[in-house]
Chains A and B, each alone.
Chain A
Amino acid sequence: EAQVTQNPRYLITVTGKKLTVTCSQNMNHEYMSWYRQDPGLGLRQIYYSMNVEVTDKGDVPEGYKVSRKEKRNFPLILESPSPNQTSLYFCASSLSSGSNEQYFGPGTRLTVT
């Protein structure tokens, strides 16, 4: 089954404790991205990747890191999480670019206390 998976689905952590949210897709998509969703603000893009070893900042990249060492994986790293990073996070992928239909993962609800 074609899908985007994220782990963990729920995470409660404390300020400053490094964490990684994994994202994997099995559709051989070149383009992958991370969004955060906050009430009243819609989805905002954090980072995206056009292909392996090619990443770039989205609209709200501060406090986040990403890497794309393999085509299927695109982890999101929070080196020192803060409470303002409490949010619902989505990984998405598409065939070749951000213009195409996006396939979303199920989401990761992160709470930073």
Chain B
Amino acid sequence: SQQGEEDPQALSIQEGENATMNCSYKTSINNLQWYRQNSGRGLVHLILIRSNEREKHSGRLRVTLDTSKKSSSLLITASRAADTASYFCATDTGRRALTFGSGTRLQVQP
């Protein structure tokens, strides 16, 4: 398995519901980042959480980090159709590069 694996691979919810995506990783990290990608387009940075932080908020986004379990979750509250996208976690392990997972495809039905 890869460093940075998202779960589930795909998620379909109704508008207004909350969406939760999880990321697990294998080695120690300096920080973990979440990105969004609309179909076929470039990734957009959402949020960065450092290894000494447990929770971070940005608008409707809430990210948690549990370094003892080597896992993170991204919660999108009150989802909208415009949130339909793929979401990737990326880990900084000090390798001079982020390692990306293969992503969660989120579909928000209007």
Which residues of A line the B interface, CB within 8 A?
A: 4, 33, 35, 40-45, 48, 50, 56, 58-59, 88, 90, 92, 97-99, 101-107, 109
Contacts and interface: CB of A to CB of B under 8 A. Distances in A.
7 contacts: A42-B103, A43-B100, A56-B96, A97-B96, A98-B95, A99-B30, A106-B42
Given A42-B88, A43-B100, A90-B43, 12 more contacts: A42-B4, A44-B100, A48-B96, A50-B96, A97-B96, A98-B95, A98-B96, A102-B45, A102-B90, A105-B42, A107-B41, A109-B40
A107 B103 contact: no
Interface residues of B, number: 25
A90 B35 CA distance: 14
A109 B95 CA distance: 27
Contacts of A41: 102
Given A103-B45, A109-B40, A42 B2 contact: yes
Contacts of A107: 40-42
B98 interface: yes
A103 B43 CA distance: 8
Contacts of B101: 42
Contact of A99 (B41, B43, B92): B92
